[in-house]
Each structure stands twice: as C-alpha cells, then as structure tokens.
Chains A and B, each alone.
Chain A
C-alpha cells in the first residue's frame, strides 16, 4: 500500500487470554505523535511491536513506503531505520558515554542511508560534551538519558520511538530533559512516537495524540482536538484541559504582559521577553476556567475574559463537578465548574457566556 503515513496494525491476545492489543493506526510522518494511556494500557507493547523487538503475528508496520512487517514478512529490529529510547537509560555499562555514542556511530552505515548523524551537532544539542569520558554509573539519571537519546539519533533513524523516557526521573530531571526534548522536536525532521502516561508531557511535546485504553485506541487526532473532548474514558481529573496554539503580537512593557492571539480570540499572558511573531502553545486547564453570565468589567482580578458558546455539558468523575465544553471561534475550551454553580447560572447548551481564564501555562 502506498502511503505517507506510519501504519501500525497489531492484534495480540496473550497466552493467558487476558490482555489484548488491538490497534490500527495511521500516524503522520512528521511531528510528535504521543501514545497516551495508563500503565498497562498496552503502550509499551505497541511501541515494541513497532520496533520489531516483539513480533506480533499478522501485524502490519510500515513507515511511508518502507514495509517492515506484513504477513510473513518481518524486518528484524537491526535492519529498521529506527531510534529507540527505553524507559530507563540503557547505556552499555562496559563502555563510557563517548564509547556508547561511538558504538552507534560505527554501526549507522549498516542500514541503507546517509551514515551516522552529525556527532558534534547532537552532542551540542543534548549538552553532553563534558560527559563523554564518564562511565554510566558516574552520570545522573537525566544525563544518562540525554546520552541515550544522542546515541539513538546517531544511527540517523527515520523514526524515533520513545518509551516513557522521563518516567524513571525525578521532577527536576524531568524538566531538564523536557526542555532538551522540546529543542529536539524543533531541530530534527523525523517523526517521533512518544509513549507516555503523563498528560503534562503530552501537552508539552505532542502534535498528534493517540489515547490507548485496555489495548484499544479510544481517541486519536490532532493534540488540541483530542484534548478538547469530554468523552474520553480516561479520568484526567484535575489535569483535564486544552491546548491552543497562538502567536505573540504585542507586548505591554508597563505590566510585563504579552498578547497571544489565536484563531477565535486572544489572551494576555505573562511576558517572558517574547519576540513579536513567535509561535507559542498555551495549555489552559479546565479547573482554571470559570464561567459568568455577564461580562465582568474591572470587578475581578481575572484579566482574561472570553465570549464563548456552551456546546456540551458532561458530568465530571466527581459528583460535585461538571465539565463544560466551550467554543470560541475554531478553538475549544473546557471549564470545570461545580454542578451547583451551573444550576444557579442555569447553564444550557447553546448559551453564550463569559469564560474567565485564571491561568495559562505557556510552552515556548
């Protein structure tokens, strides 16, 4: 089949008959596709099958026109042009960091392609220049993972598979690696499939999102579209929220604010010395959005009020709360409010209301 997508079809029933993976995916060949789901949802099984580390009979795996698995055909892992990041940094313990990189560099030519990637560029990109002489046990968890990422990229893959690369790290290390991953996403031109159970990571990194639940795909599509849905079987609780891509168009020097404009509205956000015209991604959590029937002018500490239309109302997992889906232009917002307030305001689908946005986290 001719395609410009990443095709992954796998059906797998374990011998114990319990768990089963049943996916049929067509992912874009650019940007970051997140496979999101709880632990045990089958994310790692899927990624391993895509890499050829596990062979699921009758599966299909192809990257554009390159077919890696179809029917009886199966390309072993070492002949696939992939890079793979394991959950725990798996540097070879008998080699130092530099030798670990050299291991990949030496073998890069084995699969048809351009040979090894630019060593200096990757070392610079991941900030590991000073670590090359050190042994894996002399590196912190974050440093090890950075070396592992550089190593995976040195073989010049056409597809980068990452299996919860941050899961084994503490919060500080997570943030450290996340900023490297954001740089990476912008620098490298290959598609990345990123497995994670953290909605924060997904919201920061992904362009496309697949939600896996008990081995099955329950939602997939552009990140913003999937995150704005109310009907996912996953309970995100406090973390439910949407992302909006925007552009900085104006800065207010006096109040240190920047105006972020998007299709459907604008928000004033804290200015971080942004350049005019820069693209940003804003994450707005449902719990940070309040609703009012009328516009509140100067009577509230909340800076951002948006005129929106209610398009859906769904019960939250907590009986006291409701999730209200709001449309503003082409964007969707979600507000998490108490059922009591909704009753007092007599909110109905189709109503025009004011959404008060208390806080926005910005991913630059």
Chain B
C-alpha cells in the first residue's frame, strides 16, 4: 500500500506541531518550574494546582474555553485581530497555543521535580565561588537538571503528538493545515478506510512505545527526576 499524500502531510504537520510546542514549552516551562521549586509564596500550591489542571480536565473543556476566547469577541480573538493576525481558531498557531496549554504540566512537572532534587547546596556553593544568580542557573542548575530537561522534552513532545480532543475542537480537520495524525486516523475510521487507519495507528503505537521505553531507560539511571505515572 502506498501512503497517501494527506497522510504524509498529517505526519509532517504532527511533527512540526509537536516540535514547536515542545520548544516553546521548554522556554516558558523552565522559568515556571524554577519559580515553583524556589518560591516560599503561599500562592505556590494554588498555582501548581492550576498549572496541573490539564492533567485531569477533559480536553473538550480546554477546547471549549479556548474556542470562546479565540472567537472574534473573545479575549484572544480581539487581541489577535487587533494585531492584524486574524483568528487563531482553525489555524496552525491556534493549535500550537492549545497544545501548549494541554501539554504544559507534562513539561513543567519533570522540570520542577528535577530542580527540587538538586537542592539548595550546589547553588550555595556556586554563590560562594562568585557565581551570580543567572550564572548559577546556567552553570549549575541546567547541567544538573539535564535528565529532567530530556524527560520534559520527551513527554511534552509525545503528549502533543497524542492529543485529539483539543485539536479537533480548535483546529477542526483541515488537511495540510490542522489535520494531525490522531485526527486523520479518526477520519479514516469514519470513512471505513481501515487499512490506512491501521497504518497510522501502528506508527503511533511504535512511536509511543519507543518514547516510554526511552523514559524508563533514562529513569533507570541514578538521577532522580521526571513524572510519576
């Protein structure tokens, strides 16, 4: 069987989406996780709980609120229209935003755990060796939290690849634009194209297994980090 052009497009779109989301999430998730690991604020628990909401909320709830916000009279809609960007709904960047919210806890939590596992001592040592706070972060925290970063990147990427509900609600099912693998499988099944559905599903199974295997092997190393499933 030959893989169809739209299947191929769905695979590439999925990879592009997941890479973009992972990269952006690492950028914004790192300061968030760092703040959570260092703060003594009373707001820590409520904020941590809020950031973890996507772990248990039905994707449709996130999708619903995002759609409302992205509508022309919604908060995000007004903002993007005002900036001349048009609507985020049913666009690639709309998907990116939705996926970031949906996958946020999968990036923040392993980083948070990794940062907490480092403890205060290495940072204190660095301070006595003249390292400024920013220098300490890059020269001590980043290298010591490396397994946490790897774990966060893998989980964020994999979770974005695996999402369905939010994508369907925000992106719809537009080939080449918002049609990712999970949605494409859904479409194949609806049209009774079981062979194509199998093809993509096996791909996803293989991918997911490799990701989890990688994580478990990584966790086998002596450094403590990551999510507890």
Chain A interface residues toward B at CB < 8 A: 51, 53, 76-79, 82-84, 86, 90, 92-94, 103-104, 107-108, 110-111, 151-152, 155
Contacts and interface: CB of A to CB of B under 8 A. Distances in A.
29 contacts: A53-B124, A53-B128, A76-B127, A77-B127, A78-B126, A78-B128, A78-B130, A78-B131, A78-B132, A82-B128, A84-B124, A86-B121, A86-B125, A90-B121, A90-B125, A92-B122, A92-B126, A93-B122, A93-B144, A94-B140, A94-B144, A103-B129, A103-B139, A107-B129, A107-B135, A151-B129, A152-B128, A152-B129, A155-B130
B86 interface: no
Interface in B107-154: 121-122, 124-133, 135, 139-140, 143-144, 146
Given A92-B140, A93-B144, A103-B139, A110 B125 contact: no
A107 B132 CA distance: 9
Contacts of A83: 128
Interface residues on B, range: 10 to 19
B124 A77 contact: yes
Interface in B8-49: none
A90 B122 contact: yes
Nearest to A161: B128
Interface in B143-188: 143-144, 146
Contacts of A79: 130
Contacts of B121: 86, 90
A220 to B, nearest CB: 25
A110 B128 contact: no
B130 A107 contact: yes
Contacts of B143: 94
Nearest to B135: A107
Contacts of B129: 78, 103-104, 107, 151-152, 155
B127 A78 contact: yes
What does DSSP make chain B's interface, helix, strand, loop or mixed? helix
B130 A111 contact: yes
A111 B131 CA distance: 10
A204 to B, nearest CB: 25
A155 B126 CA distance: 11
Interface in B62-97: none
Contacts of B146: 94
A51 B128 contact: yes
Most buried by A among B127, B130, B133: B130
Contacts of B131: 78, 103, 107
Contacts of A93: 122, 144
Nearest to A94: B143
A48 to B, nearest CB: 9
Nearest to B132: A78
A285 B113 CA distance: 52
A350 B135 CA distance: 65
Contacts of A84: 124-125, 128
Contacts of B140: 92, 94
Contacts of A76: 127
A151 B146 CA distance: 24
B225 to A, nearest CB: 14
Contacts of A151: 129
B166 to A, nearest CB: 37
Nearest to B125: A90
A143 B214 CA distance: 36
Nearest to A91: B125
B130 A110 contact: yes
Nearest to B118: A93
Nearest to B143: A94
A250 B133 CA distance: 58
Contacts of A86: 121, 124-125
A86 B135 CA distance: 21
